[in-house]
């Protein structure tokens, strides 16, 4: 089951995206709806809210006056923390119940405003952020929800900024245009990424790039994308992963590379990586196992065994190399990355080799093998490098 975290600032259009995804077949769990449910009359959380905030946040019929409560807690960090301590445990319990009830193989969308603020991105296979300028959001809140402009601005200021949302976003849906345009973008996202990603998960299949070799100019997004994947792997594996690192060319600033994120998981022994619970944990996190065994060509002419997993996400191809921590393959991957990061001459030399091989029209498979002689030739330079 693909788990998608859907978020965005207040007034961004997140609810429109959620409705469109539901129409396309997703199971949507709406955190705001759950938050309303847990403070309905007769619910324990409602009693606790009255005990903490008093009758001033209740209507004459005994129901919670949410705008009044909002005016109390937004801008008062202590009051907000008290409210969250009352409601969040109940919200999470009910949300977990709804998610567990989703049918196998469904695309599950968690419509959750505070994914970024609460650093929850590693709970999902993808985080989709609906973005719009503060001016657009303010206009919508006043026009469509009838909010007082001062209250609307306070609500916007209480949330995180777009820089944090951008760093957390696997997908950014810009909503500065019309609703029709936004819905077209959502349908494209569903057809090109969400549905295929889910199918790959169901069938334990990794996403692959065409074998035609394409090198990309350096992208500042690569380390940020890798950090999100690393966090998901760490959460999935827990203590079974001794280390999780971004390696390969996309981990070297300024270096041309195939648009593939390489990650390395260090384990105490390869037998740990063969444990079915380990294999299933990576698969459920979005990284199915590829083959039973794998190996790298060692610099001494032998072979360095490893295990290999690939991302099921067609929008972000990633390779996960599982190696024994501090084994020769594990050490080489880190040493080679660090050498290229600090040695301008080595980085330029490697870039020239990459471009020369790409110019031959090699396939991606042949390209990998064609670099091996150069790796062998620089072995002593890599291993003789002392970081720092």
HSE, CB side, 13 Å, CA atoms: give it for residue 376: 12
Nearest CA-CA partner of 133 in 165, 170, 176: 176
- C-alpha 160/C-alpha 167 separation (Å) is 12
Could you give the C-alpha distances from 131 to 84, 159, 229, in angstroms and in order? Answer: 25, 13, 22
Handedness of CA 289, 308, 354, 228 (dihedral sign): positive
SS3 of 370, please?
helix
Measured distance CA(193)–CA(190) in Å, rounded: 6
DSSP string computed for 141-162: HHHHH---HHHHHHHHHHS--H
Question: In Å, what is the CA distance from 2 to each residue of 33, 45, 212?
Answer: 21, 31, 29
Describe the strand order of the beta sheet including 126-131 as a list of residue ranges.
27-30, 107-111, 2-8, 126-131, 171-174
- Listed in sequence order, the residues at least 6 apart from 207 whose beta carbon sits closer than 8 Å to its beta carbon are 196, 197, 200, 310, 311, 312, 313, 314, 315, 317
Evaluated on CA atoms 325, 327, 330, 334, the torsion sign reads positive
- What residue spans of the chain are helical by DSSP H? 14-23, 31-37, 44-53, 66-73, 77-100, 134-145, 149-158, 162-168, 179-189, 195-202, 221-237, 270-273, 276-284, 328-342, 344-359, 364-370, 372-377, 379-383
Give CA–CA dist 382/388, Å, rounded.
Answer: 14
Q: What share of the chain is helix, strand, coil (3-state, %, to 5)?
A: 50, 15, 30
What is the token pair recorded at 212? 């035609």
Binding residues: 11-16
Annotated binding-site ranges for ATP: 11-16
């Amino acid at each position: 089951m693909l788990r998608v975290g859907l978020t965005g600032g207040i007034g961004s259009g997140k609810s429109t995206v959620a409705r469109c995804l539901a129409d396309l077949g997703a199971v949507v769990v709406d955190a705001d709806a759950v938050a309303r449910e847990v403070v309905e009359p007769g619910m324990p959380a409602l009693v606790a809210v009255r005990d903490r905030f008093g009758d001033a946040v209740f209507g004459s019929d005994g129901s919670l006056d949410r705008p009044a409560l909002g005016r109390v807690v937004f801008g008062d960090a202590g009051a907000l923390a008290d409210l969250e301590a009352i409601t969040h445990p109940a919200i999470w319990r009910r949300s977990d119940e709804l998610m567990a009830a989703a049918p196998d193989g469904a695309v599950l969308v968690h419509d959750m405003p505070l994914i970024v603020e609460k650093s929850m991105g590693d709970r999902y296979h993808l985080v989709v952020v609906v973005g719009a300028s503060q001016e657009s959001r303010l206009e919508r809140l006043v026009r469509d929800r009838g909010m007082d402009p001062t209250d609307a601005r306070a609500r916007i200021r209480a949330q995180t900024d777009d820089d944090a949302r951008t760093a957390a976003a696997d997908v950014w849906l810009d909503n500065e245009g019309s609703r029709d345009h936004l819905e077209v973008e959502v349908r494209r996202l569903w057809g090109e990424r969400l549905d295929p990603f889910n199918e790959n998960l169901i069938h334990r299949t990794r996403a692959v790039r065409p074998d035609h070799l394409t090198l990309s100019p350096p992208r500042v997004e690569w380390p940020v994308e890798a950090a999100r994947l690393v966090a998901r792997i760490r959460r999935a594996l827990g203590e079974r992963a001794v280390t999780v690192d971004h390696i390969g060319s996309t981990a070297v600033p300024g270096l041309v590379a195939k648009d593939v994120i390489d990650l390395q998981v260090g384990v105490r022994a390869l037998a740990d990586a063969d444990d079915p619970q380990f294999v299933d944990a990576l698969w459920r996190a979005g990284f199915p196992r590829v083959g039973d065994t794998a190996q790298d060509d060692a610099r001494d002419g032998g072979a360095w065994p490893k295990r290999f997993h690939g991302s099921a996400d067609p929008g972000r191809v990633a390779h996960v190399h599982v190696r024994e921590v501090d084994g020769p393959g594990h050490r080489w991957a880190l040493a080679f990355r660090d050498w290229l990061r600090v040695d301008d001459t080595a980085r330029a030399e490697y870039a020239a080799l990459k471009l020369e091989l790409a110019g031959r029209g090699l396939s991606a498979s042949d390209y990998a093998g064609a670099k091996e002689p150069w790796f062998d030739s620089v072995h002593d330079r890599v291993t003789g490098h002392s970081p720092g």
